[in-house]
Amino acid sequence: MDQLYGYSLYGLSLLTFGGIYAMLALGLNIQLGFTGLFNAGIAGFFVVGAYVSAILSTAPSERHIGGFDWPIPFSLVAAMVVSALIGWAVARICMRLRADYLAIATLGIAEILRLIFKNETDLTNGARGVSYIPKPYESLAQPWNHVMMTVVVLAIVAVLYFMLERARKSPWGRVMAAIRENEDSARAAGKNVDRLRVQAFVVGSAMMGLGGGMMAHHLKFIDPNAADPTTATFLVFVMLIVGGSGNNKGAIVGALLMWTIWSATEIFTSMLPGDLAIRSAYIRVFLIGLMLQIMLQKFPQGLFPEKRLETGSSG
């Protein structure tokens, strides 16, 4: 009975982490999937959102600036706004770049952002991180605190999903698809391609900031290590590719599935004896890489192939 209860709580944790990653994957889907913008700096927007929401919502503290005691919904909105503003600046600068140049530039920007949070000790407490971040419904008794956190995360994911599906089917989404498929003809049809791309980038960045904020509240603690590129950028790419780039449902399923695989594999590898258990931690990473390769080669469309819309405007 205890065991079953334990599994249920772990299931909730998988849904919570997976749901937060789904926000990141949905953000990436707008940029990469819909519009073809190769943002390899997810960790940067993630860490901005996490710190903004953390610092605004915590109680005043001597360790870092403020502690402004904002209610969580407001701090999350602020996290989205700040991430969106940074996304706008990045987009204005980098939008002309071709796919891989954009990837390298955004990867570099994410590193610079992480360095800022790490070095500006007076503002962020530097490498020592921000503690006591409030968590939604944490005062409820177990298991209801976990249940409500999961409900909040999944509700946000659901809202994002419906908004994105509407956007995708709207004229705006059709033009985005048209730009990705054939930029020149979209331009020829009189669309302001650069402006639309900036819009997609900004919306995606805001969602990554939201994901970062939710992560900070879930962990109740944030430090610059949480913006490690392996788990904050590359893992999100794997999620979107496995789920199906261009498909919102795919982004969500990919995030939940890959997080489950990433997390649950350890339950088995930790049963290995002694030294092997330690080394098998590396094998997990190897398997993630291998899985990505297999998906790319055998199922390039992912689990949920993109549903092509009739893009009348691009002809």
Judged by CB under 8 A, the chain residues 120 through 149 that form the site for another protein are 121, 126-129, 131-132, 135, 138, 142, 145
What distance in Å separates the CA atoms of residue 283 and residue 288, rounded to the nearest whole number? 9
The answer to the question of residue 200 lying near another protein (CB under 8 A) is no
Q: Supply the minimum distance, in Å, between the C-beta of residue 190 and another protein.
A: 25
Q: Are 124 and 51 in contact (CB under 8 A)?
A: yes
CA 310 to each of CA 25, 36, 214, 244, 303: distance values in angstroms, whole numbers, following the listed order: 25, 18, 36, 19, 22
The answer to the question of residue 251 lying near another protein (CB under 8 A) is no
Q: Supply the minimum distance, in Å, between the C-beta of residue 195 and another protein.
A: 18
Q: Figure out which of the listed residues 81, 85, 97, 154 binds another protein, where binding follows CB under 8 A.
A: 97
Long-range contacts from 249-254, C-beta under 8 angstroms, 24+ separation: 249/161, 249/304, 250/29, 250/302, 250/303, 250/304, 250/305, 250/306, 251/22, 251/25, 251/26, 251/28, 251/29, 251/33, 252/22, 252/25, 252/26, 252/157, 252/161, 253/303, 253/304, 254/25, 254/302, 254/303
What distance in Å separates the CA atoms of residue 247 and residue 307, rounded to the nearest whole number? 7
- Residues 63-92 contacting another protein, CB under 8 A: 63
Contacts of 77 (CB under 8 A, 6+ apart): none
Is 59 or 159 the residue whose CB approaches another protein more closely? 59
CA 272 to each of CA 269, 279, 280, 286: distance values in angstroms, whole numbers, following the listed order: 6, 10, 8, 17
Q: Supply the minimum distance, in Å, between the C-beta of residue 113 and another protein.
A: 9
Stretch that binds another protein, among 10-18, 162-170, 184-192, 202-210 (CB under 8 A): 10-18
The answer to the question of residue 265 lying near another protein (CB under 8 A) is no
- Residues 145-174 contacting another protein, CB under 8 A: 145
Q: Figure out which of the listed residues 98, 122, 190, 310 binds another protein, where binding follows CB under 8 A.
A: 98
Name the token pair of 30. Answer: 């707008």
Q: Which of 59, 49, 51 is nearest to 20 (CA)?
A: 49
Q: Supply the minimum distance, in Å, between the C-beta of residue 310 and another protein.
A: 22
Q: Figure out which of the listed residues 24, 51, 223, 253 binds another protein, where binding follows CB under 8 A.
A: 223
Stretch that binds another protein, among 94-102, 153-161, 167-175, 190-198 (CB under 8 A): 94-102
Q: Supply the minimum distance, in Å, between the C-beta of residue 166 and another protein.
A: 26
Stretch that binds another protein, among 70-78, 158-166, 202-210, 275-283 (CB under 8 A): 275-283
Interface with another protein (CB under 8 A), residue total 85
The answer to the question of residue 290 lying near another protein (CB under 8 A) is yes
| Amino acid letter, residue 113 | L
Is 76 or 103 the residue whose CB approaches another protein more closely? 103
Q: Which of 164, 180, 211 is nearest to 42 (CA)?
A: 211
Stretch that binds another protein, among 73-81, 105-113, 171-179, 190-198 (CB under 8 A): 105-113
Q: Are 27 and 39 in contact (CB under 8 A)?
A: no
Q: Figure out which of the listed residues 59, 158, 188, 278 binds another protein, where binding follows CB under 8 A.
A: 278
Q: Figure out which of the listed residues 60, 71, 73, 93 binds another protein, where binding follows CB under 8 A.
A: 93
The answer to the question of residue 288 lying near another protein (CB under 8 A) is yes
Q: Figure out which of the listed residues 89, 158, 272, 309 binds another protein, where binding follows CB under 8 A.
A: 272
Q: Are 21 and 239 in contact (CB under 8 A)?
A: yes
